[in-house]
Structure formats: structure tokens, C-alpha cells
Amino acid sequence: MQSITVAINDLFEFEGQAIPASKPELALLEGMVRRQFSFLPQPLDIQVGADAVTISFAEESPAAQQEAVRLAGRAGKRASQGENPKAIGILKRVLELYPTLHPARRDLAMAYAASGDFDNAKNQLIEILRLNAKDHWSWVTLANLYAKNFDDLDTAEKFLRRALALSPDDPWALNSLGAVLSERGLPADAARIFQRAISANPEVANPYYGLALTYCKTDQLQPAVETLSNLFAHAKPQDSRSTQLFASARALFVDLQTSLAEQHHAAALQSVEEMRAQMEQQSGYPVRVSYEDFQEEVGASIQMAWKHNKDHHLIRCRKSWPERLMPHLVAHELDHLRLESNARRSSKNRFLVSSARGREVAIRSMEDEILRWQKRGRSESSITEVVLASIQRACTHLLNCPIDMVIETALRASMPSLSHAQFLSVRLFALEAWQSDTSAEGRELLPRSILRSTLALNGAYALFLDDLFRGATAYAANYRKEETFTTSDKLFRHWQSRFPQLGPGDEYGLVDDFASMLGLKDWYDWKPDPGP
């Protein structure tokens, strides 16, 4: 024989009745027990105590238990494949054979919920709790059903507090209670509960997201951003559903950064103006800024006075760029100026230039592509134009990639008022780069050697950005399927190892390191800066 003990108060609660002030009559209690536990093997032996009822019943046969476990395994496979109706049919048979197999009843409740049959899901969870009222996880699941599918926040909160009485530090129960309190318009109480959930298990993402949403409801945008940043830094995916939660968190992070970039635009402009004044004094030349319509896919560029024999530096910005992001474009180019100025003072500045020797080496690496284009009838002039443009593009990309990593790291650390615009600005660059990298037409026009270097460098930069923003972005995920990703990872790790020790002008050595790893070392030459 098996037996279970049920509190008399629970019998009334399971039927949605008020708990009586005095002990009910024996016949009433026995009737409730027989009605609520009709799914158990009959007959039932019922013993009524002072505040609880003990129910005894025959144990299932070993053969029935064995067959039920086997069928439950089959049902689990069906459910994992999304075949919930078939899983439900099998699980019903399982529970006929083995009514007290709690995992199967829980799986049946989940299969019903996944099928949209929330009434039956609720009934199965209640039957689990009838058998074991200390199963706190079923209280949590039942509460979530009441909150999300029956719009009954009062009952949901009551069940969640019961779960927490059994397991006070369960992060999922705390998370659900926080969500209920937030829905009830109690943001301060909800925030405290979400924070408890985070403390209980910092690796669970849901409470961070719930807390961020709660902050958003009261226009506390900066705390919301900080909360999401902590999510990306500390939380780990728990199951397949985490993928969607992380995606939602990243989308919310972008929205918050957009709002904060607007709010901090004036402060960002002021910081950039101060930086410009500093760089004018440090470099010895005034800095002018122009806004133009670019044909090439760049956000901004700087023409150094000493490189172009001018009496000023000129920063050219893409006119179509969102106004709130312009401070980042200017700051990025000013930091290029800072690096070159420091290198000049140390007599280490130099210019990357294309030479006939370098072009010859590069062209030899493209012989197969050139032959293929010739066979397709492309003119020699068009081939020459594409080849020379591709070489120039590859060398420019090689120069900028590691140096841009240095610049963005410096801006992140030194200009907090710019952080929101910076995030959004490099996000647009990353999305544009991936769009270009996946363009069939673009891939067809690029020689393979340059396509490989482009993908490797962009993959390394994507890894850098994901690291810079502490997981708030997932740009590298796009490049992981590329055969060049191993090289991307090596490039980024090498940058990480070198960056802390970089002195004035050492960034050019980093460019050489990248070139060697990509097989591009002989494609360019360095020209010493002649100085003032």
C-alpha cells in the first residue's frame, strides 16, 4: 500500500472554496477526498486527523510501472519534436498505468499548455499538488498559468508566495512573483523581488530582464541599461527558450540606448568639442569638420594636415548618419589624430602606402580569379579597376581594423557621455559590414584572397565589439559559420594580448601582426613620417 497525507485546508483550496473556520464534518471531507483523488487506484482508505487526511491505496504492479516508464520515454521524444497531441495520448496511458508518476503528470501538463489547452494543464498541475503539496515547482507553474492565461494575478501571487514558503530562494518563483507585482502596478515591490532573484542565482537571465522592464515602466532608463548590461555579463542560457529572451533583451537594449543617446546628445557634443580643442593644441593645427554625402561605405574620415600639406585637419562625416550619432563619428576621427600625434612626438609615426612591388604580390595571389573573369568576357580595363580597388580596400581595412579596436576601447573608457551614441554608431557599422559580407554580388566581385581577409577582419572586429559591450551584442554569431572564423578568433586574441602594452606608434606593429596572420604582409609598405 501507498499513502499520502493532505492538509484539510488544501482540500478546500484545491476546489476554490474558502477555508472553514472550524473542522468540517467527516462525511464532507471524505466526499471531497474521493472526488479529488478519483484518479488513484481504487478503493481508497481514508483516515481523517485533526488537520490532515491520510489516503491509502494499492501500489501499481511492477509490470505496470515498467511499461509506464517506457511509454513516458516515448512521450518525451514526441514532445521534444513538437508532436504534443501524440505526446498527450501516450501520457494519458502512462498515468492510467502509473497514476503517481509525477514527472509524467508534469510532462502532460506542459504538453497541454504547449497545445493551448490551459484548463487541462491547470488540472494536471493541481493533481500533482494533491499528491504532493510541497512540490514548489508545480506551484510556480500553476501560478504562471493563472497569471498569463487566466488573467488572475491574485491567485497567481497567492500560489507564488506558497512556492516561496517552501523554497524561499528559488529564482524562478521570485522572478514570477516580480512579474506579477510589476503587472499589478507595484514597481518598487517588483524591483525588490527581482533583485532577490538575481542574488539567488545571478546566472538566470529572466529576473534581469524583468527588472529592466520594471525600470522602463517608471522611465528609469539608465538603471534599466545597467541591469541589462549585468544580464549580458553574468547570465547564461538555461534552455532553448533563453535564445528568445536574450534576443528580446538585446532589442530592448538598443531601444534604451537610442533614447539615452537623444537625452545625452548635448553632453556628447560638449565632450567632443572639448576633445577637439585638446587635439588642436596637441597637434598644432586647427580641426575642421564637414558633413558630406559619401559614395563609399564609411562613416567618417580624417585628412591629417601633415599628410596632405594643409594648414588644418579635416574631418569628413557622412551627412546621412543620424544626428544623435555624429558626436561619435567626430570623436573617432579625433582619436585617430591623437594616436598619430603621439606617434609623431615619439618619432614613430608612419604611413601605409601601396607600391608597385606590393601590388605585384597581391595581383599574383589573384591570378585564378583574373583568369576566370577573362574567360567570362570581362574587359581588361574593368578587371584592372576591380583588382586595384580591391587591393586598396584590403590594405585600408587591414590598417583600420586593429587601430579602430584601440580607438573604440579608448572612447569607451574616457568619454562616458558618448557611450550611447558609440554603441548605436558601431552597431550600424557592424550591420552594414555583415550585409556587405553576405551580398552575393559583392562576394562575386571580390577576389578570394581579399574576401577571406575581409571576413576574417570583420569577424575579429565583431568579436571585439561583443567583448567591448560585455555581451550586449552578438555580432560574431554571424561569422562563426564562416571558414575564416578560426582566423578571426586568432586575430582578436592577439589584439587582446598586445593592447595593454601598446605605446605611441605601436599600433602600426599590430597592423603588421594582423597582416602576417592573414598572409598580406607583402602587400604594402611603410613610409616614414618626415615630421614638421
Name the grid cell of 510. 599590430
- Looking up cell 510532462 gives 107
Cα–Cα distance list, 27 to 31, 33, 36, 127 (Å): 6, 10, 14, 22
pTM for this entry: 0.86
Tell me if residue 2 falls in helix, strand or coil.
strand
Between CA 337 and CA 332 the distance in angstroms is: 9
CA-wise closest residue to 79 among 90, 70, 68, 69: 90
Q: What confidence tens digit (pLDDT) does each residue in 257-266 have?
A: 999 999 999 9
Between CA 336 and CA 302 the distance in angstroms is: 8
pLDDT for the residue numbered 186: 96
pLDDT for the residue numbered 296: 62
Q: How buried is residue 518: exposed, middle or buried, by Cβ count under 10 Å (0-12/13-18/19+)?
A: buried
- Looking up cell 524562478 gives 172
Question: Containing H/E element for 485?
Answer: helix 485-498
Q: Taking the alpha carbons of 487, 488, 494, 497 in that order, is the dihedral positive or negative? A: negative
- Provide the 8-state DSSP code for 499: G
Q: What angle do CA 524, 525, 531 make, to 5 degrees?
A: 140
Q: What confidence tens digit (pLDDT) does each residue in 85-125 have?
A: 999 999 999 999 999 888 899 899 999 998 999 999 999 99
Between CA 512 and CA 48 the distance in angstroms is: 84
pLDDT for the residue numbered 530: 83
CA-wise closest residue to 93 among 75, 106, 109: 75
pLDDT for the residue numbered 297: 66
Q: How buried is residue 190: exposed, middle or buried, by Cβ count under 10 Å (0-12/13-18/19+)?
A: buried
For the chain, give the percent of residues with pLDDT over 90. 71
pLDDT for the residue numbered 366: 83
Q: What confidence tens digit (pLDDT) does each residue in 276-334 have?
A: 999 999 999 999 999 988 766 678 999 999 999 999 999 999 888 899 999 999 999 99
Question: How far from the centroid of its chain's Cα atoms is residue 292's Cα?
Answer: 34
The 3-class secondary structure across 191-252, one letter per residue, is HHHHHHHHHHCCCCCHHHHHHHHHHHHCCCHHHHHHHHHHHHHHCCCCCCHHHHHHHHHHHH
Tell me if residue 48 falls in helix, strand or coil.
strand
Taking only the tens of pLDDT, the chain with its 532 residues reads 888 899 999 888 888 888 888 888 888 999 999 999 888 888 999 999 989 999 998 988 999 999 999 999 999 888 888 888 999 999 999 999 999 888 899 899 999 998 999 999 999 999 999 988 999 999 999 999 999 999 999 999 999 999 999 999 999 999 999 999 999 999 999 999 999 999 999 999 999 999 999 999 999 999 999 999 999 999 998 777 788 999 999 999 999 999 999 999 999 999 999 999 999 999 999 999 999 887 666 789 999 999 999 999 999 998 888 999 999 999 999 999 999 999 999 999 999 998 888 888 888 888 887 887 787 777 888 878 888 888 898 999 999 999 999 999 999 999 999 999 999 999 999 999 999 888 877 677 778 888 999 999 999 999 999 999 999 999 999 999 999 999 999 999 999 999 999 999 999 999 999 999 999 999 999 999 987 7
Are 89 and 104 in contact by the 8 Å Cβ rule? The answer is no
Between CA 336 and CA 312 the distance in angstroms is: 15
Cα–Cα distance list, 508 to 5, 350, 408, 498, 525 (Å): 76, 8, 16, 12, 11
